[in-house]
Amino acid sequence: MRGVVVAVGSENPVKVEAVRRAFTRAYGSVEVVPVAVSSGVPPQPVNDEGPMGALNRAQGSLREVSRAEFGVGIEGALVELYGQTFCTGFVAIVRRDGLTGLGTSGWFQCPDYVVEKMLEGVELGKLIDERVGRIGVKRAEGAIGIFTRGLVSRTDLYEHGVYMALAPFLAEGLWSRSKGL
């Protein structure tokens, strides 16, 4: 039995593993194919740039991997809501026939000095690397792993977002045809 082929619009092992975990749980046998594609948004997306980047990555990965049934894009972003600033991961899943699911990971606040730099365009991963004196935190536990002392990793966070974006596919009869943003 051939597994579901899923293209992921990133080579970041955190994003690839989050997709692998969620799709394996939902579909059983899965082949996940990472592919470098452009998000089409700045390195540190803010507000609407997050879902647009995720959708661009999902569509781009599906174009790059012709045998994939699904394309997945994950884009971390800073979002302002009710006078507060949060970090979240937007997830877009596009099936070959065009059906699209959008979701987010959990949302969390960052220290004010981090938010200020992010709003200036500095990527969260770079800021956390500098603060903890390591390189590559975004490819490991992520900022949320540092903030929660390992209780929640970036992979865990994004896995949750993938489940949210999978809802239209898992309960397809309850959804109208969604084509994205």
Domains of the chain: 4-174 (3.90.950.10)
CB 52 within 8 A of CB 41: yes
Q: What is the pLDDT of residues 77-107, one digit of tens each?
A: 999 999 999 999 999 999 999 999 999 999 9
Q: What is the pLDDT of residues 55-83, one digit of tens each?
A: 999 999 999 999 999 999 999 999 999 99
Band (175; pLDDT cuts 50, 70, 90): confident
Phi, psi (deg, nearest 5) at residue 73: -125, 135
The model's pTM: 0.92
Q: What average pLDDT does range 39-58 have in this prediction?
A: 96
Q: What average pLDDT does range 124-130 have in this prediction?
A: 91
